[in-house]
Structure 1
């Protein structure tokens, strides 16, 4: 199954730049691992509000439970709210 995940990260006020950079570095490493496993297919940066980071991710997982495990393994999840949309093939999809 494929899932579109809207990931909105809000860094808590008072968090040091060092802590932010450390977590972002760990997030990038984990994203590469998920991509290598075939779980993370794509990432995009949609518009966002001041003071937040926003990312759309296309993930592949056997089911919603596996997806949740993958999302929970990402370091920025501690500051992030995820909205998950299950995707199903469209009969007119030109990629089919």
Structure 2
């Protein structure tokens, strides 16, 4: 099943730029691992407010429990609030695998 996850990150006040850079590097590495495993399908950057960190991610997981495990494995989760929307196929979807 696919899930759209709206991920909003809030860096705690007083966090050093070095700590932020290290966290971002760890997040990037974990994202690559999740993509290679087929759990992370896509990432988008929606319009942002000044100073806002926000990402939309498309994830694949057999159920919400497994999705939660995937999201919890991402380093930025410590600073992030996620809103999960389960997705189901639309009968008129023109994308890959669409019925013709």
What TM-score, normalized by structure 2, do the two folds share? 0.94
Whole-Å Cα distance in 2 between the matches of residues 52 and 8 of structure 1?
8
For structure 1, the 5+ residue unaligned runs are none
Aligned-residue CA RMSD (Å): 0.6
Aligned partners of 2:21 and 2:70: how far apart in 1? 21
CA distance in 1: counterparts of 2:14 and 2:62, whole angstroms: 38
Q: Which of structures 1 and 2 has the bigger CA Rg?
A: 2
| Runs of at least 4 residues off by over 4 Å | none
Query: Number of aligned pairs?
Result: 96
- Partner-residue secondary structure (3-state), 1:84: strand
| Structural mapping, 1:1-96, within 5 Å | 1-95=1-95, 96=98
Structure 2: 5+ residue stretches without partners: none
Q: TM-score, normalised by structure 1?
A: 0.98
Task: Give the C-alpha shift of residue 52 in structure 1.
Answer: 2.1
Distance 2:81 2:93 in 1: 30
Indicate the SS of the match to 1:6.
strand
What SS does the aligned partner of 2:90 have?
coil
